[in-house]
Amino acid sequence: EVQLVESGGGLVKPGGSLRLSCAASGFTFSSSGMNWVRQAPGKGLEWVSSISSSGNYIYYADSVKGRFTISRDNAKNSLYLQMNSLRAEDTAVYYCAREKRGSSPIFDYWGQGTLVTVSS
């Protein structure tokens, strides 16, 4: 059974940093592109970042470029999102999502999400 479990969310002050993790199991993690998608309270889904299976190709939404860094450790079956210079508008539930196939915005499995709250 495919499982994605996010962790690392919490309350952080504006300008602070946080590192999210996503533990994957039930599939060959090293063969799958992975993404972070967020959802602000009461709002819609917003794509944040993607990383290819090898980690060689990385993309970011303009809203987080230069502040967030996506990475992965295929030996640990884990995906990460380092978030720096956090702003109030980064407050959201952050989901990790698996790409159904490489280089495609088709997310066939999602984690349960982890809440990040940016507030003083």
Partner 1 sequence: QSALTQPASVSGSPGQSITISCTGTSSDVGGYKYVSWYQQHPGKAPKLMIYDVRNRPSGVSNRFSGSKSGNTASLTISGLQAEDEADYYCTSYTSSNILEVVFGGGTKLTVL
Residues at the contact surface with partner 1, assessed by CB under 8 A: 35, 37, 44-47, 50, 59, 61-62, 95, 97, 100, 104-108, 110-113
What CA–CA distance (Å, rounded) separates 89 from 106?
A: 26
Q: How far is the CB of 45 from partner 1 (least distance, A)?
A: 5
Q: Which residue's CB is nearer to partner 1, number 41 or number 75? A: 41
Q: Which residue's CB is nearer to partner 1, number 32 or number 50? A: 50
Q: Which residue's CB is nearer to partner 1, number 16 or number 47? A: 47
3-class DSSP assignment, residue 48: strand
Task: Tell how far CA 84 is from the center of its chain.
Answer: 14
- Residue 78: exposure state from Cβ atoms within 10 A (0-12, 13-18, ≥19): middle
